[in-house]
Amino acid sequence: MAQGVRWGIVGLGSIAHTFAKDLALVTGGNLTAVASRSIEKAKEFGNEYGAAHIFDSYDALFESSEVDVVYIATPHTSHENLSIKAMENGKHVLCEKPMGVNPEQVARMIAVAKENNVFLMEALWSRFNPSIQKVKQLVEGDGIGSIGFIHADFAFYALGRDSENRLLNPNLAGGSLLDIGIYPIFLSYLLLGMPNKIQASSLFYKTGVEMQTSMIFEYDGAQAILYSGLNSKSEMKAEISGSEGSIFLHPRWHEAQGYSIEKDGELIDYNLPTHGKGYTYEIEEVHACLSSGKKESTMWSHQNSVDLAQLLYEVRKKSGVIFPFEEQKKV
């Protein structure tokens, strides 16, 4: 695309601000349009980041000829509908994680992407983090021997927020799992694949959302101990332990600025600071895929998103997490 990649953003919350700041750091990335149900919010956001086209309707942005790719940054429950609308208008889509609330939604989104011959990727930004990429290479290269144990957690206190906040609202698929539990689950999946068995237990908040979940993923010769929560903080660290050494991703591991390797009694630190906040890498992956004509990323494929959605679904089945808009028989 000679004029660069023209981006539109729908859903203008805090994550969209972070994304827009990092987009400005990426060569060939241009924010041309933004949309919000509040025209005042859209104007403020657009003026801050230099978007020429301001819309008070998501559909208007999807129909705009000035947009190549749409970044979907709305609450979880609207990801499927908005992504499909964008793709049916011929737009490529980078959809914030989780791509869908359940595997069926993800499957429908992928089908629409293929029907319309457009690019679709889940914005699982940690997959493209340089430190996490390096850790995957080390594990695959037998850098610490056979993996026997993974630990990863992600938690912060959020119960003081308004009950209608997306994290605490069950009608918006709130709770810790889909918002932050997805990160520890992703790391285990990235390094060990699909588990043979899942154990999970959740505690619930007064609004009905799951507020903390502990998980054990069992593999052949290995276990992953995973945790997410909204009722207290955690260290937000990750450890990958093998037969010949260990790798540590330090807090906050999902946006790691480096890693450490402990081997033969020696601990060595490696610094890999991110460019910007770290969203730059997923943006660059989208650009690379579009320039080569790919309709999905090989680094984080459609199948990867299906698998991740299935893992989240299985954890929810084990721990009894059912959203009001779902039929009980499905979970």
Q: Looking at residue 65, which CATH number applies to its domain?
A: 3.40.50.720
Whether 330 shows a pLDDT value over 90: the answer reads no
Give yes or no for residue 119 having a pLDDT over 60.
Answer: yes
Q: Which of 67, 98, 123 corresponds to the end of one domain? A: 123
Residue 323 carries which side chain, given as an amino acid letter? F
Instruction: Tell me the CA distances in angstroms from 234 to 227, 238, 263, 291, one per residue in order.
Output: 9, 11, 26, 40
State pLDDT tens for residues 279-300.
999 999 999 999 999 999 999 9
pLDDT tens digits, 153-198: 999 999 999 999 999 999 999 999 999 999 999 999 999 999 999 9
Residue 326 confidence class, pLDDT cut points 50, 70, 90: confident
Using a CB cutoff of 8 Å and minimum separation of 24, what contacts does 248-251 make? Answer: 249/131, 249/132, 249/135, 249/152
* Number of structural domains in the chain: 2
> Is pLDDT at 218 greater than 50 in this prediction?
yes
pLDDT at site 118: 99
Picking from 273, 289, 309, the residue at the C-terminal end of a domain is: 273
Is the residue at 314 inside a domain? no
Same domain for 61 and 154, yes or no, is: no
Cβ atoms within 10 A of the Cβ of 202, count? 23
Strands 197-204 and 210-219: antiparallel
Query: Do 158 and 90 belong to one domain?
Result: no
Q: Is the residue at 313 inside a domain?
A: no
Co-location of 111 and 137 in the same domain:
no
Give yes or no for a contact between 114 and 205, defined as CB atoms under 8 angstroms apart. Answer: no
189 Cβ neighbours under 8 A, 6+ residues apart: 304, 307, 308, 311
- What residues make up the domain containing 205? 130-273
pLDDT band at residue 327 under the 50/70/90 scheme:
low
Token duo for residue 148: 């026997």
Q: What is the pLDDT of residues 82-107, one digit of tens each?
A: 999 999 999 999 999 999 999 999 99
All residues at 6 or more sequence positions from 53 whose CB lies less than 8 Å from its CB, including other chains: 8, 32, 33, 34, 46, 61, 64, 66, 67
Rounded to an integer, the average pLDDT of 241-246 is 98
Helix 302-319 × helix 182-192 angle, to 10°: 120
Taking all residues of the chain, what is their mean pLDDT, rounded to a whole number? 97
pLDDT at 187: 99
Instruction: Identify the CATH number of the domain in which residue 208 sits.
Output: 3.30.360.10
Structure confidence at residue 130 (pLDDT):
98
Residue 2 pLDDT > 80? no
- My answer on whether 28 and 78 are in the same domain is yes
Share of the chain above pLDDT 90, in %: 97
| Phi and psi, residue 9, nearest 5° | -120, 130
Q: Are residues 171 and 191 in the same domain?
A: yes
Give the pLDDT score at 328: 52
How confident is the model at residue 272, as a pLDDT? 97
